[in-house]
Structure 1
Amino acid sequence: MNAPILSKDWKPPIWIDVGAVTDIPRRGARRVTSPRGDIAIFRTGDGEVFALMDACPHKGGPLSQGIVHGRAVACPLHNWSIDLASGEPMGADKGKGCTPVVPLEVRDGRLLLSLATAVA
């Protein structure tokens, strides 16, 4: 099997430890300030974690202040439901923009963010 060919500009992601999973309550969020802007890290009732840029695609509302329900968050400004895995609005608002997803990993109970790229 051949190894993938990488661009000369390729750089490995840099992972930044931003705290323990248990720092975020179930069905809650935490905001992290970064050079790229505020990032919201969410924890569902089932313990899954997700990271999105902290701005609703509708009017830029702070998603970190919204209510987490299932695998979504309700924007506190206009109640748009945003899918935590994709950043896409749900229901009647589907297809009306997207909140960028920020790469997030959990290692040994610690939350690690990659600030090199966001998936739009």
Structure 2
Amino acid sequence: MSKLKLHLDADTSIKALQNALINKGYDVTRTPTDWMALDASDDVQLLGATAQERCIFTFNIRDFLILGERYKNHYGIILAAQSSWNLSSLIAALSKMLSETEAEELQGQIRWLNQWKC
């Protein structure tokens, strides 16, 4: 089993969120990065995260539900309704997910962050 790596897509790309998770010891990237342009399409973000063997976290529910069906070999898609979360609750839930979940468990899966809500 391997550690879960996370990518924050353009919708969830909050520097404070990334920094908080990195400070807790998790491997987290965000758009933009050296392998992902700020204006990358949703398809490119999912495929880029997949190429990096990263699960992707997004608030863009409608588009990523479709993409998850189109590209079934992804490393996991985590969805959340933006209006239901503040920064501290995102940090807590994503920390719980990253500490409790192995990378293999999310391959090809689409899950709701609420599953790890504290």
Q: TM-score, normalised by structure 1?
A: 0.29
Q: Which of the pair has more CA radius of gyration?
A: 1
Q: TM-score, normalised by structure 2?
A: 0.29
| Structure with a larger share of its residues in strand | 1
